[in-house]
């Protein structure tokens, strides 16, 4: 039997809200991530937020890393002060996942970054973020496209989607300065926000939208995960 690639999926945290839970913290990820990884032939493993000392062993135990969405990345990690009023941060997660990116690249393993995951990779490699952007948060029907992206020729996304594709949009931050090791391969067709990147030296694919929320209504989106699980190296 062929060994399934082990896909480490970064987890988020939430506090239990029931009285009997007494503030218990849960580690979680969206079930759709594990479903689509299994449908692509991978073995999903959720990686809890942990002390950075655990990172080397976690990365050694997986074949590929998927960085999921969630909180904003704290701006001091890219040399700026907070310019917005928000409590949607988790410094422990930032520290852990920045170390995850570093170690995954050191061990030569592929990374797929989704939404926050794209932003985190950009910061980890020396880029910066716009702390607040307008017209990119569309909660209604995220299984359908709300904006059109323009896709670079001769890129993996062009192989999947062609010149243009409609995608959802659920982000309040975006790439401001692109890390020198990264190359943009898709842009919002209206305001040119960077919507996807690859690395010049590493196996990295970063997406600003949430393809996992679209796969049931837009089956071609599954090809992103098929590529990540089975081909990206």
Q: SS3 string of the chain?
A: CCCCCEEEEECEEEECCCHHHCCCEEEECCHHHHHHHHHCCCEEEEECCCCHHHHHHHHHCCCEEEECCCCECCHHHHCCCCCCCCCCECHHHHHHHHHHHHHHHHCCCCEEEECHHHHHHHHHCCCEEECCCCCCECCCCCCCCCEEEEECCCCHHHHHHCCEEEECCECCCEEEECCCCEEEEEEECCCCCEEEEEECCCCEEEECCCHHHCCCCCHHHHHHHHHHHHCCC
Residues designated as active site: 115, 210, 212
């Amino acid at each position: 039997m062929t060994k399934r690639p082990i896909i480490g999926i970064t987890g988020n945290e939430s506090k239990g809200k029931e009285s009997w839970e007494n503030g218990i913290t849960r580690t979680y990820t969206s079930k759709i991530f594990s479903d689509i990884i299994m449908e692509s032939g991978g073995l999903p493993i959720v990686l809890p937020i942990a002390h950075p000392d655990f990172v080397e062993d976690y990365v050694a135990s997986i074949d590929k890393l998927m960085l999921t969405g969630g909180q904003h990345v704290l701006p001091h990690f890219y040399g700026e002060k907070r310019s917005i009023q928000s409590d949607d941060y988790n410094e422990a997660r930032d520290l852990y996942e920045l170390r995850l990116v570093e170690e995954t690249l050191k061990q030569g393993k592929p990374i797929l970054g989704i939404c926050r995951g794209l932003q985190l990779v950009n910061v980890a490699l020396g880029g910066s973020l716009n702390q607040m952007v307008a017209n990119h948060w569309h909660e209604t029907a995220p299984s359908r496209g709300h904006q059109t992206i323009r896709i670079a020729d001769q890129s993996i996304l062009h192989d999947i989607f062609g010149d243009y594709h409609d995608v959802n949009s659920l982000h309040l931050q975006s790439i401001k300065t692109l890390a020198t090791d990264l190359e943009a391969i898709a842009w919002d067709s209206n305001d040119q926000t960077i919507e996807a990147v690859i690395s010049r030296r590493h196996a990295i694919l970063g997406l600003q939208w949430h393809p996992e929320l679209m796969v049931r209504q837009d089956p071609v989106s599954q090809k992103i995960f098929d590529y990540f699980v089975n081909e990206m190296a």
